[in-house]
Amino acid sequence: MFSKVNAVNITSVFNIAPAVLTAALLVSPASASTVVTYQDASVFGDSGIYAPVQISTPDIGGVYAGPFQVTGTDGVGDFLAFCVDLAQHMSSGNVYEYGVDLFSSAVVENLDKLFTSAFAGVDTNVEGAAFQVAIWEIITDTGSALDLGVGSFIASDPYDDGQDVIGLASSYLAGLGTETGGYMLTFLSSDQGQDLVTATPSPVPLPAAGLMLGFGMASLVAMRRKRKPA
């Protein structure tokens, strides 16, 4: 079963995965709240890009991983989000506070590097799942090398189906480099469900009235139109 992460249980698209840390990046002048719900019957949405992975540490098991398609109230609108929480479940109707600090500066910097180096190219099921797995590795294995085979987060491909999610996630992690600032990251926190991260291209500022993250859905539509074979 899933918890606070961008993932869904293989037997149920309504159960999602686990929680992790807390500490450092302020991405908006002040936090605000919104009620987050699914845009479609599935958490991944009608045109979702996700694939199965096996998480053995922590002992979660088989899950689907990929970006959620959700919408928020109070001017937030439609947006894409990844899970940053391996200890809770995802469900519609939860209240989220955004513009909050969730992680240490080191974790935030690595997430920034990941989005900057790889997010623009995520447009297939394997890539969506691999990007989520890379996020989980960064937020969970904070005290070790970013290696999906050892440490506090260990994941593998559950089937011999040619979808090398873990191999691609490992290449994302190996290619972080030093460049940052490609996207503005916004963290969303809820006592009721999985914490999330979403991104808008820098230097687009968050409007004072809300996130206005329609970019995410527009990007997903564009990605699906030019979708590469998985």
pLDDT at 209: 34
pLDDT at 86: 92
pLDDT at 150: 94
pLDDT at 145: 87
Of 113, 156, 162, 109, which Cα lies nearest the Cα of 133?
156
Q: Contacts for 202-208 with beta carbons within 8 Å, 24 or more apart?
A: 206/27, 206/28, 206/99, 207/75, 208/29
Provide the residue-wise pLDDT of the chain in tens; the chain has 230 residues. Answer: 233 344 443 333 323 332 222 222 233 445 799 999 999 988 999 889 999 999 999 999 999 999 999 999 998 899 999 999 999 988 899 999 998 999 999 999 999 999 999 999 999 999 999 999 999 999 999 877 899 999 999 999 999 999 999 999 999 999 999 999 999 999 999 999 999 999 988 765 444 334 444 444 445 555 555 555 44
Handedness of CA 167, 64, 133, 72 (dihedral sign): positive
Collapsed DSSP state (helix, strand, coil) of residue 201:
strand
Of 109, 102, 114, 126, which Cα lies nearest the Cα of 172?
114
pLDDT in tens, 10-23: 333 323 332 222 22
Two tokens, residue 71: 């919408």
pLDDT at 158: 96
pLDDT at 222: 54
